[in-house]
């Protein structure tokens, strides 16, 4: 990682996934530094050992995270009916030749659609931190992975970052960041997902950059506009 220059604008990707190529390319010709500081690591929990037996009891599934999509692509098949949230999740499962019935920008949109159009059983295969209250009563939840704080990051580096836009992908990432007590109030914040945005608003009154369509390209465009790039 290149040394951080305090006078440079910094874009900080805090998700565990690699920095998207689109984000790198957008800021390649600017003075902005792209930093990858993964605040959270995702791990399968003990429930994962029973995932196949759980799947056998359902035909309809909700998948809302790229991590879940990556894991479940090895367990779901083309006979299953899958409802997704987010462009990346849909793309990953589609490339695995799975059957996507509908895809939504966010969980709230999916919830509204389910309440109006589906009364049969469906299961959300999700994280231990997923908000189960969003969906109607016919949606069961099965948490097969968990987020844990990444203790290997340079905490002093995080605490002293300024002139930065911090990008979050989950409420867990938001909580981990603010636990580190960054010393500067000049940072702006960006995120994907309504639940993450609501969590972020509890910690800061600073500007929150948030794409309503939950698309990475829209997020990057908003960040670029914010930095005047």
pLDDT in tens, 147-182: 999 999 988 888 888 888 999 999 999 999 999 887
pLDDT of residue 4: 38
Output 35 or 183, whichever has higher pLDDT: 35
Residue 52, C-beta contacts closer than 8 angstroms, at least 6 positions apart:
75
Does position 7 have pLDDT exceeding 60, yes or no?
no
Which among 174, 168, 169 is positioned nearest to 199, based on CA atoms?
174
Q: Are 191 and 201 in contact (CB under 8 A)?
A: no
Does position 2 have pLDDT exceeding 50, yes or no?
no
The two three-digit tokens of residue 187, written as one number: 């940072």
Three-class DSSP category at 173: helix
Q: Which residue has the tokens 């565990």?
A: 16
Burial (CB < 10 A; 0-12, 13-18, 19+), residue 6, is exposed
Residue 30: CA atoms inside 13 Å, Cβ hemisphere, count?
18
pLDDT in tens, 126-138: 999 998 999 999 9
Q: Are 191 and 38 in contact (CB under 8 A)?
A: no
pTM, two decimals, is: 0.87
pLDDT band at 93 (very low <50, low <70, confident <90, very high): very high
Residue 208: CA atoms inside 13 Å, Cβ hemisphere, count?
21
Distance CA 179, CA 186 (A): 17
pLDDT of residue 128: 96
All domains of the chain in start order, with CATH: 10-39+150-227 (3.40.50.10090), 42-146 (3.40.50.10090)
pLDDT of residue 156: 87
pLDDT band at 207 (very low <50, low <70, confident <90, very high): confident
pLDDT of residue 205: 87
Beginning with the edge strand found earlier in the chain, give each strand of the sheet holding 60-63 in spatial order: 40-44, 139-149, 122-127, 60-63, 81-85, 100-104
pLDDT of residue 30: 80
Rg (CA), the chain: 18
């Amino acid at each position: 990682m290149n040394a951080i220059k305090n006078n440079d604008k910094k874009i900080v990707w805090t998700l565990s996934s690699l920095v998207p190529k689109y984000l790198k390319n957008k800021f390649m010709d600017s003075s902005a530094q792209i930093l990858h500081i993964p605040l959270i690591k995702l791990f399968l929990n003990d429930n994962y050992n029973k995932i196949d037996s759980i799947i056998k009891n359902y035909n309809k599934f909700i998948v809302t995270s790229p991590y879940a999509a990556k894991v479940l692509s090895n367990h779901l098949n083309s006979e299953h009916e899958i409802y997704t949230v987010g462009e990346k999740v849909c793309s990953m499962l589609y490339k695995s030749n799975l059957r996507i019935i509908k895809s939504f920008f966010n969980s709230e949109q999916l919830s509204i659609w389910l309440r109006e159009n589906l009364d049969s059983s469906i299961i959300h295969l999700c994280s231990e931190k997923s908000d189960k209250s969003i969906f109607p009563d016919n949606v069961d939840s099965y948490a097969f992975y968990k987020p844990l704080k990444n203790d290997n990051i340079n905490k002093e580096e995080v605490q002293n970052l300024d002139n930065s836009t911090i990008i979050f992908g989950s409420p867990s990432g938001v909580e981990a960041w603010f636990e580190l007590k960054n010393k500067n109030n000049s940072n702006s914040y960006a995120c994907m997902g309504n639940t993450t945005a609501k969590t972020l608003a509890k910690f800061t009154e600073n500007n929150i950059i948030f794409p309503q369509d939950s698309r990475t390209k829209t997020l990057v465009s908003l960040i670029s506009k914010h930095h005047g790039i």
